Structure formats: structure tokens, C-alpha cells
Amino acid sequence: TCVNADGQPEGMTVNSFTSVSLDPPLLLVCLYKQAASAPALVEASHFAINVLQAGQQPASIRFSTRHEDRFGVTPWSCGEAGAPILKDSLGVFECERFALYDGGDHHILVGQVIKASFDAAVDPLLYFRGSYRRLHFD
């Protein structure tokens, strides 16, 4: 998620992100270039990675479509650097843009983590083999 040049929240669902470095703390996310929110995310000085929890499947679906009002029905607040933080997320990484690379039909956006938070009381939202899944512990 980020705030666009007009001060409006923007965001999209991505299927993964990855750690790049611990010192400095860097992560990357790949953004489909044709996604509606890609231009705002590429231009933003700060962005947030909201790791969704099992109860946030509707938000995941909403942010993965061209739904016009993604934030209207999704509770959120501004993070420390202004990027939207989705309420009740499993984890949040607030980042400052560090680098941007061309990745074919994707942008590779690298962020330096300036704040991270995590809620160990909830389970992650998982998407595997074309379906949302749940963790099963025996």
C-alpha cells in the first residue's frame, strides 16, 4: 500500500515478497506493471507490506481485482511514514523506497524497512495451488 500523488491510498495484492538484506533491512516485492496501483507504488517514497491473516480473505480478493474503492470497506490507518496500514494484519513492514528495477512485465521494488510489527495471535492467509488454504497443526 502507499499514498498516491493526490494523497489517496492505493494498494494491491501480491503473492509474495522476500527478504533481501538484514543490514540494512531490505525486502523486495514484484509489482505487475499493468496493475492499476503499480504507478503509484513505483512513485511513492514510502510504502507498506501488509501481511494478511486468515480473516482477511475478502481484503485479499478486493485488492487483487480492479475494484474501485478498495479502502472504503477495508479498515486502515496511516503508518509512521504515511503509507496505509490495514487493520488486523498479521504483520506490517513499513518501508522507504530503496531501489527500483525492471523485471520484464514486473517492477522489482526494493524497500528499506523502517518499522515492522507482528501479531502472533493470528494465522496467516495462505494462497496455494489456486485456492486459499489454512494451516493444519496436529
Q: Which of 38-47, 95-104, 126-135 has the lowest average pLDDT?
A: 126-135
According to the model, what pLDDT value does residue 137 have? Answer: 63
89 falls in which pLDDT band (50, 70, 90)?
A: very high
Of 42, 24, 36, 32, which Cα lies nearest the Cα of 109? 42
Cell numbers found for residue 69: 474503492
Of 114, 121, 64, which Cα lies nearest the Cα of 90? 121
Cell numbers found for residue 95: 518501508
Tens-place pLDDT, residues 10-44: 999 997 899 999 999 999 999 999 999 999 999 99
Antiparallel, parallel or unpaired: β 46-51 and 76-78: unpaired
For residues 75-101, give the mean pLDDT: 96
132 falls in which pLDDT band (50, 70, 90)?
A: confident
According to the model, what pLDDT value does residue 86 have? Answer: 97
DSSP 39: H
Q: Are 53 and 89 in contact (CB under 8 A)?
A: yes
129 falls in which pLDDT band (50, 70, 90)?
A: confident
Q: Are 3 and 82 in contact (CB under 8 A)?
A: yes
For the ranges 64-68, 77-81, 125-129, the maximum mean pLDDT occurs at: 77-81
